Every structure is written in C-alpha cells, then in structure tokens.
Amino acid sequence: MDVSPRSFTGMGSGVVHAPRALHLFDVPKSIGEAIGVQQVGLVELTAEEELMATKRAQGDAFRLAYELAKEALRSIDGRVLTAADGSTDVAWSKMGAKLRQLVMSAYNVLHSPKQEEQASFLGSRQVQVG
C-alpha cells in the first residue's frame, strides 16, 4: 500500500479527510534494531481526531499524551496502522518505552508552534474596548 504524502488519507479514525502529509521519522538504530523498526510515520491531527483521543483518555492527563500520539501514528516501516483494525494498539504496545517516548516527542513537535510563531502570535495582541 502506498503511504506517500500525496496518497495518504486520514486512516485510523474511520473518517476520510483530504490527503495530508505523512511525516516520516527514522528510528535510531540503537532503539530500532532491538524491536525491528526503522521508521515511523505521523500525521497532524484534525480537531475530530483530537477529540476522539481525548475521549479515550477519560480525563487522565498522562493517558491523553499517549492517546494523542497513538492517534497521530499512522505507519511503521511503510505499513499503514489504523485504530479500526487494532494495528495501532498492537504496534504501540510492542514498540517499547523508548520508541513510544520518541513518537510522543514527534507528536509534540508536529502539533506545537515554533517559538517565533508563538511570539509573533502573542505579540500581535490588540485590545478593543466597547
């Protein structure tokens, strides 16, 4: 199955979205060789996907970090992962603590504005009265 950015669609949630970028990350050999993983792919989540992950977390902040990262995880070594068939949960449980931590870090990088973007946004504040 082709998981290139041009053909990749919102798999995992059952909701199909317009094609979107699949961000590929190479797993360090010291981590990947032990578990047989060379590369992971993540997408930027839609608002609906963020809500689904939040619901699965059931108010647990630590679990929310896991659920958001799991929702964004869409491929391992080119194989598509989906929540619908359970492959995301299986991959998450087998990938080991270090790779899970790297996936959560990748999620945070993809979903957080850069420092200059945040400064620009916050610096643009205007106050209107009346």
Summarised one tens digit per residue, pLDDT across range 2-33 is 333 344 444 444 555 568 899 999 999 999 99
Question: pTM (2 decimals)?
Answer: 0.80
pLDDT score recorded for residue 17: 52
Structure tokens at 130: 């009346």
Per-residue tokens: 35: 């578990």
Quote the pLDDT of residue 6.
Answer: 41
Task: In whole angstroms, give the CA distance from residue 32 to residue 36.
Answer: 6
Nearest CA-CA partner of 12 in 49, 40, 38, 44? 49
What pLDDT, on a 0 to 100 scale, did the predictor assign at position 16?
Answer: 54
Q: Which residues of the chain have pLDDT under 70?
A: 1-18
The residue type of 103 is V
Residue 19 has a pLDDT of 82
**pLDDT the model gives residue 8:** 42
